[in-house]
Amino acid sequence: MGDKKEKKVLVYNSDAPIEEQVVSLLKGLKKTITTAESITGGMISAAITSVEGASECFKVGYVSYSNKAKRKLLSVKKELLRKEGAVSSSVAKEMAIGAMMESEADLAVAVTGNAGPTALEAKEIGLVYIAVCAGGKTKVEEYHFTGNRKEIREQCCNTALVMVRNYLLEKMT
């Protein structure tokens, strides 16, 4: 006769726009989020905060477009930026960890990549790294988006929000 741990049942509208799903899940779980954005320049933060009630779960958004900002705001190591470049899995991971540590949020999402129109750091246009950090673990995924600069940035924003939603559904429920 042990105590059974009750699994939380979350109700959210899976047909709603992705940012509404994320905010609904965060609020339902009583969790907070922060963003660390390079390639998207604040689009993820804007999407989240466009949802009514986001102030209950959104801590802060860091737009760290320059390497200096990545170092100063998010504690990304200078040597790492020099060695691997801003568009790398390791930098995305450090951005997410740094944002979470600075903001004391429950979860952080970070994005870095190359939206074009020219190759950055000799890395292909459309190459993007998205990191989600929570519960002492960080997951980084690599993507290769296509389209123009605007389309690549929009795909990155949407995919980052999908990663957050999926994390919340898989890990926190």
Over residues 66-75, the pLDDT tens digits come to 999 999 999 9
Helix (H) or strand (E) holding 31: none
- Are the beta carbons of 33 and 99 closer than 8 angstroms? no
* pLDDT value at 2 more than 80: no
pLDDT at position 6 is 54
Model pLDDT, residue 173: 56
Mean pLDDT, rounded, for 116-145 = 95
CA distances from 58 to 1, 92, 116, 148 (A): 40, 20, 29, 29
Phi-psi domain of 119 (left: phi exceeds 0; alpha: psi -120 through 50; beta: other): beta
Confidence band, pLDDT 50/70/90 cuts, at residue 7? low
Q: Assign 120 a pLDDT band (cuts: 50, 70, 90).
A: confident
* Integer CA distances (angstroms), 156 to 13, 15, 35, 58, in order: 22, 20, 13, 19
What pTM was computed for the model? 0.93
Report whether pLDDT(8) > 80: no
Return mean pLDDT, the chain.
Answer: 93
What is the mean predicted confidence (pLDDT) over 115-141? 94
User: What pLDDT, on the 0 to 100 scale, is given for residue 13?
Assistant: 87
